Amino acid sequence: MELSSRITGLLGGGSDGWGVFSRARQMIADGTPVTELTIGEHDIRTASPILQEMHRAAMGGHTGYASVPGTPALRDRVAARVQNRTGVPTTRDNVVITPGGQAALFAAHAATTNPGDTALFIDPYYATYPGTIRGVSAIPKAIPAHASDAFQPRAGEVAAAAPGARSLLINSPNNPTGVVYSRATLEGIADVCKDQNLWLISDEVYDTQVWNGTHLSPRALPDMVERTLVVGSMSKSHAMTGSRCGWIVGPRDAIEHLTNLATHTTYGVPGFIQDAAEFALNQGPSFEAEIAAPFQRRRLLAQEIIGAQNAVSLVPADGAMYLMLDIRSTGMSGEEFAYALLDAHHIAVMPGESFGSAAAGHIRVAMTIKDAAFAAALKTLCRFAEQKSQ
Ligand code: PMP
């Protein structure tokens, strides 16, 4: 039987970008130890008190259908956190809880684009973006950010791509580059959204991982609140990737329609997960800082190691749990380099090309293993690049 082009065309016909990752996993399955610096998963598990709360809530009976837009208490908690962090008045009516940020990205595009509409996003990008857009029968259109601009997008290039588009998806702090968009970048983007009547979908799942300065949510910029949907998640900020709990913050009428969408797709998020998320958020910013600290520490370690050689350079960045390394001095593509490093040293990294053509000649390193092992792997990687660039 024939399946829909929406689903068979989801990957756009290209590689899914996970080839190196799959080879690494196969090597591990075959008994070869591999140092994995691939996916954005913490090296710690969800904290015990959060799990205890999850257990308490489940044992207390919160195991039936939960309120579809989210429990009032969790929506209030998310709204308060957003208001505290951004100064933008926000209530539970501006919040819908979703099963993770990924479901929120899908719902945000379903809410803002009609079939066949163009949805813009910035390249390099988190690997699911184009497929998410295709999944709602919209047309993904990438706008390159440039290595020479430290991957800050240019408003002029966004404006040039915008005519006829319905939405623009941005992500700061950024996966894969670690770049935090400057106020000037975000103001330029906001102006284009207003001039060209675009929805802005702002993926802020790394909002607690900023090492210099502070995270700026574009929803807080003048006249943006009515055209911005913010995607958030417990995954990265609270080491709760497996709990599948995220949200969209946006205008009240958009949230009403997104609640209808949730009723007809996910039917909400389990109540005991939401109670655990509320408990986790109640631990406040110091807990979030604790979860983020290893990545900041490892970035400093990486700066030292990379500063001591010339073959690899670090994209200047201030956030997230990744390093983007420029390996163009080796003459290899990111993909060639990643496969060769895996074969020679059993270290797995993601090729930049997995995240779009703008990141060609780069690799993404997830800072998600213990400090000593991370430093050792990075030194090996640099020596390998030195050999290749001679
Ligand atoms: N956005 C970005 C930029 C991500 O890196 C990820 C996960 N790696 C997500 C969204 C989705 O995260 P989750 O569904 O776990 O909230």
DSSP string, 69-113: T--HHHHHHHHHHHHHHH-----GGGEEEESHHHHHHHHHHHHH-
CATH (one of 3.40.640.10, 3.40.718.10, 3.40.50.300, 3.40.50.10680) for 64-283: 3.40.640.10
The reply to whether ligand 1 has any atom less than 6 angstroms from the CB of 384 is: no
Closest atom of ligand 1 relative to the 233 alpha carbon = 16
The reply to whether ligand 1 has any atom less than 6 angstroms from the CB of 248 is: no
The reply to whether ligand 1 has any atom less than 6 angstroms from the CB of 175 is: yes
Q: Given the DSSP bridges, would you call strands 35-36 and 347-348 parallel, antiparallel or unpaired?
A: parallel
41, 46, 123, 126: which to mutate for ligand 1, most atoms within 8 A of CB? 126
Q: How far apart are CA 87 and CA 205, in angstroms?
A: 18
Closest atom of ligand 1 relative to the 40 alpha carbon = 8
pLDDT for the residue 18: 87
Closest atom of ligand 1 relative to the 245 alpha carbon = 16
- C-alpha closest to that of 234 among 222, 225, 226, 242: 242
98, 102, 249: which to mutate for ligand 1, most atoms within 8 A of CB? 102
Q: How far apart are CA 245 and CA 248, in angstroms?
A: 11
Q: Is the peptide bond before 144 cis (omega within 30 degrees of 0)?
A: no
Q: Is the pTM of this model over 0.85?
A: yes
Q: Per-residue pLDDT for the chain (390 aa), expressed as one digit of tens each?
A: 999 999 999 988 777 778 999 999 999 999 999 999 999 899 999 999 999 999 999 999 999 999 999 999 999 999 999 999 999 999 999 999 999 999 999 999 999 999 999 999 999 999 999 999 999 999 999 999 999 999 999 999 999 999 999 999 999 999 999 999 999 999 999 999 999 999 999 999 999 999 988 899 999 999 999 999 999 999 999 999 999 999 999 999 999 999 999 999 999 999 999 999 999 999 999 999 999 999 999 999 999 999 999 999 999 989 999 999 999 999 999 999 999 999 999 999 999 999 999 999 999 999 999 999 999 999 999 999 999 998
Q: Which residue has the tokens 């308060």?
A: 80
The reply to whether ligand 1 has any atom less than 6 angstroms from the CB of 40 is: yes
pLDDT for the residue 17: 78
The reply to whether ligand 1 has any atom less than 6 angstroms from the CB of 232 is: no
242 C-alpha vs ligand 1 centroid, how far in Å?
11
C-beta separation of 319 from 211 below 8 A: yes
Q: Given the DSSP bridges, would you call strands 118-123 and 165-171 parallel, antiparallel or unpaired?
A: parallel
pLDDT for the residue 2: 97
pLDDT for the residue 213: 81
pLDDT for the residue 20: 94
The reply to whether ligand 1 has any atom less than 6 angstroms from the CB of 69 is: no
The reply to whether ligand 1 has any atom less than 6 angstroms from the CB of 172 is: no
CATH topology of domain 5-45+286-385: Aspartate Aminotransferase, domain 1 (3.90.1150)
162 C-alpha vs ligand 1 centroid, how far in Å?
25
The reply to whether ligand 1 has any atom less than 6 angstroms from the CB of 174 is: no
pLDDT for the residue 21: 94
- The residue whose CA has the least distance to atom 13 of ligand 1 is 101
pLDDT for the residue 13: 77
What residue ranges do the domains of the chain occupy?
5-45+286-385, 64-283
Q: How far apart are CA 307 and CA 389, in angstroms?
A: 17
Q: How far apart are CA 244 and CA 87, in angstroms?
A: 27
Q: How far apart are CA 231 and CA 237, in angstroms?
A: 13
388 C-alpha vs ligand 1 centroid, how far in Å?
33
